[in-house]
């Protein structure tokens, strides 16, 4: 949750920045914005560790389900050896083992899909936040470049557009 708060702070800094007159540009505190971006970068590994942890948990559940299935199969095989003479019981045990294995595999697949969906949703959300942040940074840079262009024009002696508009020439 902290990464979203950091990105919200970064967005607020850009949105709340002092506007440059007659322009879509704004002035932002460079060190403040860079510090916030660094904070987001530091949080990214934490979010990735959380996702890895979820995957590891899912893998653990799958391994446990497989181990249980193997134990059930081993138990079934041992039982079968004791009851070789009784084919009906043997057939029933094999069917039950197959059913349990199928159920365990279905449960493992379901859990894997849930984990994948959860991670995909988190990554999609993160992608949206990053996209918004990149858009805000791009707009800020565009504003800075626009301001520099105006300053460059005024340095080479071109008439100021504001003066032309005020005098009615523009």
Give pLDDT tens digits for 28-60. Answer: 888 888 888 888 888 777 777 777 777 777 777
Token pair listed for 29? 């505190």
User: Per 3-state DSSP, what percentage of the chain is helix, strand, and coil (rounded to 5)?
Assistant: 85, 0, 15
Q: What percentage of residues in the chain have a pLDDT greater than 70? A: 89
Cα-based angle 125, 50, 39 (whole degrees, multiple of 5): 70
pLDDT for the residue numbered 162: 55
Q: What is the pTM of this model?
A: 0.35
In this predicted structure, the answer to whether residue 99 has a pLDDT above a threshold of 90 is yes
């Amino acid at each position: 949750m902290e990464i979203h708060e950091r990105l919200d702070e970064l967005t607020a800094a850009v949105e709340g920045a002092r506007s440059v007159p007659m322009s879509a540009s704004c002035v932002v505190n460079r060190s403040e914005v860079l510090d916030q971006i660094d904070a987001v970068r530091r949080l990214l590994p934490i979010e990735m560790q959380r996702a890895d942890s979820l995957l590891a948990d899912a893998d653990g559940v799958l391994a446990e389900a497989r181990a249980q299935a193997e134990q059930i199969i081993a138990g079934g095989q041992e039982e079968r050896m004791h009851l070789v003479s009784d084919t009906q019981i043997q057939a029933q045990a094999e069917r039950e083992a197959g059913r349990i294995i199928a159920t365990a595999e279905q449960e493992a697949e379901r859990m894997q899909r849930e984990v994948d969906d959860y991670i995909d949703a988190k990554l999609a959300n993160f992608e949206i936040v990053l996209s918004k942040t990149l858009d805000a940074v791009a707009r800020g840079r565009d504003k800075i470049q626009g301001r520099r262009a105006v300053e460059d024009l005024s340095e080479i002696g071109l008439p100021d557009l504001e003066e032309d508009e005020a005098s009615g020439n523009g």
